[in-house]
A = this chain, B = another copy of it.
Amino acid sequence: MSKEEHKLPLSKRKESVIFMMILFAFQVFMVVLFSVWVRYSKNEVDYDKLTSAEREVLAATGGAVQEEVTNIYGYFRDINIMIFFGFGFLMTFLRRYGYSALGYTFIISALVSQWSVLIFGFFETVDHKNDHGGDFASTFEMSQTVILQGLFCAGAVMISYGAILGRVTPLQMLVVGIFEPIFYFLNMFIGEMNLEAIDVGGGMYIHLFGSVFGLTIAWFLTDKKSKDCEDNSPSYSGDYFAMAGTLFLWMMWPSFNAAIAPLGEPQFRAIANTFLSLTASTIATFIVTRLFGHLGHKIDMVHVQNSSLAGGVVQGCLAHMNINPGGAIGMGFLAGVISVLGYLFISPFLQRRFNIQDTCGIHNLHFMPGFIGSIAACIAAWKGINDKSLYNPIEFEQIFRAGDDQAKNNAAATFISIGIAIAGGLFVGAILKALKKVGGLKAKQYYQDSAFWHVPIDYPKDVEY
């Protein structure tokens, strides 16, 4: 390749300079704020008063900090795999967009993970001040669970990315990565801290919010030409990689839904329900993908890669609840069926009628199963309130924090999630649209790594039909 080909045109150079400046400013800002405001989680112990036996025990066990690491870190690790490997590789199905799929997932999720500590810390500190009064705390204690919150938020951002995959510049993704977390944690602050809604695996805060946000910004980034790009199509080896992403998401999903569930029976149910539900959505996928005659009874890899995961999404809110193992299978099956139908019928409709092009079909994988799960959580909450024999008194208190208002509050949180996602999506979408002037992609550059990446000589050629 000649040197010329490596160069970006002028407008893209501008995009690059702004990208670098914002990212650098962001990082400096982080270093300063983390330095002055964030502290490591500590054991609350008066070391002078310990007997030597107590000291030995503490040295050997590590105390409360270690307990949290022991309970959470294994899940953190799994969810880390889901975000960076799972989402990254799930999106490599396009024939020449894998560098971008992997690369933007990498940089944006890394940024969101850092940024989230501060935003979550801010809202938690506000919440603490609201409840207990006093000044805004001068430092914020970062625990293992706090870092985990950053991965959850990155999950929501990656879901949104799925809708606009292939049609954005790095600068546009950077804007999404900086602003979406603010709306994400605002929503979570309302739903989790004020309404005390039930949402153990982010059915509302992650899947519903992330997908509505993503579909809203996708509306700003859809144009006539983007709709029939030849490069918006999978490749054979790309699908192997995408299946690696799918499988790691699928295999780690029980950890996603169980990570912050109360210990004991709720945590076990979160694992069991999620796993059973995933097996059922996988079964549903293989049935429905073969069912439709216009597809000639052949299996469609797009459905296998995505709809098999719907069973994890649909359990997002209520995986830890006592919904009966048969109920978990039924819900997963339903989610899988609806998800495949979405790919077959609803996505094309959304694109035609509403001008929303949704590259990965997040509507079908995250929105519909997420919404069903959110409504199911309201019903399960209502049932739990009315039949206390379903839960032991300890877990009842842990799960039903809003008491008799639980079902109502969950319904409220569901629609607030949708509302804030739309508002945030409109705000961010408008910025993205404005940024099209700064080195934005032409339609012929959509779904191509070569726009922003050095590519090797075996980079796939243009398709000839």
Contacts and interface: CB of A to CB of B under 8 A. Distances in A.
A330 B285 CA distance: 46
A103 B110 CA distance: 31
A328 to B, nearest CB: 8
A81 B251 contact: yes
A58 B324 CA distance: 23
A194 interface: no
A63 interface: yes
Contacts of A110: 278-279, 282-283, 308
A16 to B, nearest CB: 4
Interface string A228-243: 0000011111111101
Contacts of A403: none
A142 interface: yes
A456 B236 contact: yes
A428 to B, nearest CB: 20
A429 B465 CA distance: 43
Nearest to A106: B282
Interface in A9-54: 12-13, 16-17, 19-20, 23-24, 26-27, 30-36, 38-43, 45, 47
A85 interface: yes
Contact of A27 (B26, B66, B284): B284
A339 interface: no
A456 B296 CA distance: 15
A78 interface: yes
A447 interface: no
A47 to B, nearest CB: 5
Contact of A394 (B23, B47, B76, B252): B47
Given A85-B247, A325-B38, A454-B300, A107 B460 contact: no
A139 to B, nearest CB: 11
B244 A458 contact: no
B38 A326 contact: yes
Interface stretch (A92-100, A158-166, A185-193, A365-373): A92-100
B267 A62 contact: yes
A149 interface: no
B62 A301 contact: no
A35 B326 contact: yes
Given A19-B290, A92-B240, A248-B85, A329 B43 contact: no
A111 interface: yes
8 contacts: A33-B326, A45-B392, A58-B394, A69-B268, A99-B239, A106-B282, A110-B283, A238-B456
5 closest A-B pairs by CB = A35-B326, A62-B264, A62-B263, A34-B326, A16-B297
Interface of A: 6-8, 12-13, 16-17, 19-20, 23-24, 26-27, 30-36, 38-43, 45, 47, 55, 58-63, 65-66, 68-69, 73-74, 76-78, 80-81, 84-85, 88-89, 92, 95, 98-99, 102-103, 106-107, 110-111, 113-114, 117, 142-144, 147, 170, 233-241, 243-244, 247-248, 250-252, 254-255, 262-265, 267-269, 271-272, 275-276, 278-280, 282-287, 290-291, 295-301, 304, 308, 322, 324-327, 329-330, 333, 392-394, 397-398, 452-460, 463, 465
